[in-house]
Structure 1
């Protein structure tokens, strides 16, 4: 059995933002995607018991599917929970 690695929303945020072509995290269509912490929230990362969601805006310099795969690989190697990546937008040049 694989034991979960203690990973915080801050750790996941840093991993995601380190992926080439990621411009920023995105709050989702209605601003609902976030992890709430004491006194602050991390927009674009939703930590659940059975799922981690990552919502981002990309630059579009790399194929979107490739960027999504890189984000998934970066996060999935650090957690034991399934990771879903959502490309919410491509930034204007």
Structure 2
């Protein structure tokens, strides 16, 4: 993807905070080599990127203990997709990269 990023640094940081607040999300996952990261001058927002289709791609670490999910990762993905929809009008792809 070239040109202006679809989200500003502030929007990406706010989106990351909003996603981390979702019940069942432990953290955002930066990928094995940090490749799932939005880069800005002097800042980075790990766990969020954009795929070739122009979707916001969010990689999360699921917290499967002590949540109301009872192991339902599809429900967690829908919650995160809803959080993205509250923050931006871009479509979202959710990747559950790990679980604790």
Pairing partner for 1:34 from 32, 37, 61: 37
**CA RMSD, Structure 1 to Structure 2 (Å):** 2.4
Point out where structure 2 has 5 or more consecutive residues left out of the alignment. 1-5
Runs of 4+ in 1 over 6 A off after TM superposition: none
Contact residue 28 and residue 44 of structure 1 kept, 8 A: yes
* Cα distance, 1:47 vs structure 2: 4.0
* Cα distance, 1:8 vs structure 2: 1.2
Pairing partner for 1:56 from 57, 60, 82: 60
What TM-score, normalized to structure 1?
0.81
**What residue in structure 2 maps to residue 18 of structure 1?**
21
**What do residues 39-92 of structure 1 show as CA deviations (whole Å, max 9, x unaligned)?**
12111011468210100001113221111110001111322211111000111x
The one of the two structures with greater contact order (alpha-carbon pairs below 8 A, sep at least 6) is 1
What TM-score, normalized to structure 2?
0.76
